[in-house]
Structure 1
Amino acid sequence: MVELDFLKPEYIQFLQNYNLDTKQREFTAMPMGALEKCETEVDRHPIVILFNGKPAGFFVLHEGEGPKTYTDDPHALLLRAYSIDSSFQGKGIAKESMKRLPAFVRKHFPDKKQVVLGVNHGNHPAKALYLKAGFEDRGGRFQGRKGEQFILHMPVSSVIE
C-alpha cells in the first residue's frame, strides 16, 4: 500500500541513506539537499512516500514563489525533487503515489487547485509516468538549469480517485 506523509523525524535515517542511480541524479535533487532548502524556506513542504508503512520515496510541494516559473495561477503547488529510492523502484510506487497526490493536496492544501512541475526533455521515463498519472502537457516550456523542460499540470479538484 502506498501513502503520502509529511516528513517526520523517524524518516530522516532513510533519507540520509537514499539511493538513486547516476542517470536519475541528473534530473532530480537528492532528499537531504532538498531538505536543507525546506528548513530555510517555510513554503517548501517535504513529503515522504510510504510503501507498506516504510519510506520509499520523497518529494517537495512548494507554495508561494515556487510555482511562479511554471504558472501564473496563485492556487498552484510546485512538485519538485520527486524520486523513488532505487531499492523500491519497479513496484508501481511512483504511479500509485501520483494517483494519491490530488486527495493529499485537497486535504492538506485546500486552497490549491493544481500541481505543476517541470520535467526535463531528456527524462522520458518521468514524463511518461506523470502523463499516465494525470498530468497534462499544455504546451508550456521553460529553460531549466539542465536544458528545456516541459511544464506539466495536474488539476486536483476534478480528478476522480
Structure 2
Amino acid sequence: MLALGVHDEQYAFVGRIAVSLADAESCKGSEPMAILCDGEPIGFYRVERHANTIAEVEFARPTLGLRSFFIGAQWQGRGLGTRALEAVMRDLVHRYPWASDVALTVNLRNAPGIALYRRAGFRETGGLYHGGRSGPQYLMLCALPHPNPT
C-alpha cells in the first residue's frame, strides 16, 4: 500500500498515503481502506463515521465522510476510479446501514475529481470549505444507494 501514489501535480489535492494512514490511526471513527483489483492494491480512501470532520459542518441526516480517495498513478486512465467509487458506495450501504448520505470535499481546481464525483451522483451543497491546505473546496453530498424494500 505504501508504494501507491499519484502524479506529482495531484499531491495538491490528496496527501501521501503514509500521512493519511498515520492520521487515520489517531482519528477516532476513521477507517482506512484499500481499493483492490484482482487482489492487488490500486487505490486508497478513508471512511469517516463522523462526517463533520470532513468540513466542520453538521449534517441533517446520518452522513459518512469520504476522504483521501485516489487511484494510484500507474492505474489511472482506465476507468477504475469510476468503478471503484461505485463499489465504495455499494459497500458503504452494507457496512453502515444507518447512514443516509456521504460527504466529501474536493478542491475547486481538481476538475477530474469534480467530474468523477458528479458522475457518481455527488452534488455541491452550495457552500465552500476553506480549511484545506490547497485552497477552497466544494463540499459535495450524495445519497447512499439503499436498495428498495421488496
Same fold (TM over 0.5): yes
Letter in 2 for 1:31: I
2:150 aligned with 1:148:
no
Number of corresponding residues? 146
Contact 1:118 1:151 in 2 (8 A): yes
TM-score, normalised by the number of residues in structure 2: 0.88
Letter in 2 for 1:57: G
Deviation for aligned residue 1:97? 1.1
Q: Which residue of 2 aligns with 1:12?
A: none
TM-score, normalised by the number of residues in structure 1: 0.82
Residues 29-40 of structure 1 correspond to what in structure 2 (within 5 A)? 29-40=15-26
Structure 1: gaps of 5 or more residues = 1-14
Deviation for aligned residue 1:155? 0.4
Structure 2: gaps of 5 or more residues = none
Deviation for aligned residue 1:72? 2.2
CA distance in 2, matches of 1:25, 1:89: 14
Specify the SS of the correspondent of 2:136: strand
After superposition, give the CA deviation of every residue in 1:57-106 in whole Å (9 maximum; x if it has no partner).
00001122424625423611111111111111111110011112222111
Q: Which residue of 2 aligns with 1:124?
A: 111
Residue 47 of structure 1 is aligned with which of 22, 33, 47? 33
| Percent of residue pairs bearing the same amino acid type | 25
4+ residue segments displaced more than 6 Å: none
- Give the RMSD, CA atoms, in angstroms: 1.9
